[in-house]
Amino acid sequence: MNMLQGTSYFPPLRKTVLFLEHPANEKATLMELDGGLRALSFLPEFPEVRAIVIGRYAKSGGVTRENLAALFGEIPALRHLPVVANCDFGHTTPVVTLPIGGRCKLQVGKGKAFITLTDH
């Protein structure tokens, strides 16, 4: 997604839930996630993002619950957002493909999250 910034292919961020993931076989790291999130947070429309859902990362990348919490606490634009992490979509098994521009309902609370695709 970060590579699309500044192009006509970058999707609008207004009133979105961002689903972000990285192919596990490429051994994505916390540092790469940090850079990508910071770059997204500087976009003019980013304040209109409603939540972020993060896919499951390879354990070797160091993307743990504690590290994610610290990362989201360090980036001011992310502090107010609900975040759901370690989700199976994209390049994980089972493989779940999500449509760009689809709609979902996200309920987060008391250590549980529910995501319902409402339109795709």
Residue 75 is predicted with a pLDDT of 94
Q: Say if residue 77 is exposed, middle or buried (CB neighbours under 10 Å; 0-12, 13-18, 19+).
A: middle
Asked if pLDDT for residue 18 goes beyond 80, the answer is: yes
Residue 94 is predicted with a pLDDT of 78
Domain residue ranges of the chain, discontinuous segments joined by +: 2-119
Average predicted confidence (pLDDT) for the chain: 86
Asked if pLDDT for residue 24 goes beyond 60, the answer is: no
What is the CATH architecture assignment of 2-119? 3-Layer(bba) Sandwich (3.50)
Residue 108 is predicted with a pLDDT of 84
Neighbour count for residue 21 (Cβ, 10 Å): 20
Cβ proximity of 23 and 42 under 8 Å: no
Asked if pLDDT for residue 29 goes beyond 60, the answer is: yes
Radius of gyration of the chain (CA): 14
Which residue carries 């790469």 as its tokens? 32
Long-range Cβ pairs for the range 62-69 (8 Å, 24+)? 62/29, 62/30, 63/28, 63/29, 63/30, 63/33, 67/30
Asked if pLDDT for residue 99 goes beyond 90, the answer is: no
* Span 46-79, pLDDT tens digits: 999 999 999 887 777 777 889 889 999 999 999 9
